[in-house]
Amino acid sequence: MNTELARFNMIEQQIRPWDVLDPLVLGTLSAVPRERFCPLAYQALAFVDTEIPLPPRQHPSQIMLAPRVEARLLQDLQPRPTDEVLEVGTGSGYMAALLGRLTHRVISIEMEPQLAAQARENLAAAGIENVAVREGDGLGGAPDRGPFDIIVLSGSVAQIPQALLAQLKIGGRLATIVGAEPMMRATFVVRTGENHYSTMQPWDTVTARLKGFDEATRFSF
């Protein structure tokens, strides 16, 4: 496979048609080697418009999101070089790597020990030094490192936990995918005041539920 051609085609044929046109985001997608974050058995699918399973796949959430979904989430978050970021659901570390290229510092939380260890290896191999991967339950976030300019939940949730909203700075943005199959919405929340938030749901998609975020009764929105 011609890796650079496949990467170029991914951007031109999948990502641009999804209205991802920000040159910083497109440049980051070109610079971060997505194939190095894919399991060996699935590297041929690294640039395909599909979700990729991650071993040990003990939960449906253990996937890499489709490239166009990752790209659109990034663009709509409008990351800045000074931003402090929290990601919940590290997976392979690819989304954390993209965020790391665009922001100041990233804390990423992963429940599965094997995935957390592999993500650290992937990030180190890609030369990403401003991402710290924590092993644990991301439901409560990382209050010891907050507040954050950006919070990303890399998967879907039934509702957004109040504990995570509370860790946004004023003006901070949270992104995730909210709902249940067959209808989910990309959801962006901006903290506009101490107890005030604005919400946008600009596009539809469907993806696996984040591990630990299954029960709507544990959330408030």
In order of their start, the domains of the chain are 3-210 (3.40.50.150)
The answer to whether the beta carbons of residues 65 and 29 sit under 8 Å apart is no
| Residue-wise pLDDT tens digits, 32-84 | 999 999 999 999 999 999 999 998 866 777 899 999 999 999 999 999 999 99
The answer to whether the beta carbons of residues 14 and 49 sit under 8 Å apart is yes
State the number of CA atoms in the 13 A half-sphere of 195 facing the CB. Answer: 0
| Residue-wise pLDDT tens digits, 119-175 | 999 999 999 999 999 999 999 999 999 999 999 999 999 999 999 999 999 999 999
From 61, 92, 154, 156, the catalytic residue: 61
Burial 130-155 (b: 16+ CB within 10 A, else e): ebbbebeebbebbeeebbbbbbbbbb
The answer to whether the beta carbons of residues 140 and 162 sit under 8 Å apart is no
The pTM for the full model equals 0.94
CA distance 217 to 128: 37
**What is the mean pLDDT of the segment spanning 84-96?**
97
| Catalytic (active site) residue 61 | yes
CA distance 215 to 192: 27
Judged on CB neighbours under 10 Å (0-12, 13-18, 19+), 16 is middle
pLDDT of residue 58: 63
Mean pLDDT for the chain?
A: 94
pLDDT at 217 over 60: no
Nearest Cα residue to 21 out of 65, 87, 68 = 68
The answer to whether the beta carbons of residues 99 and 64 sit under 8 Å apart is no
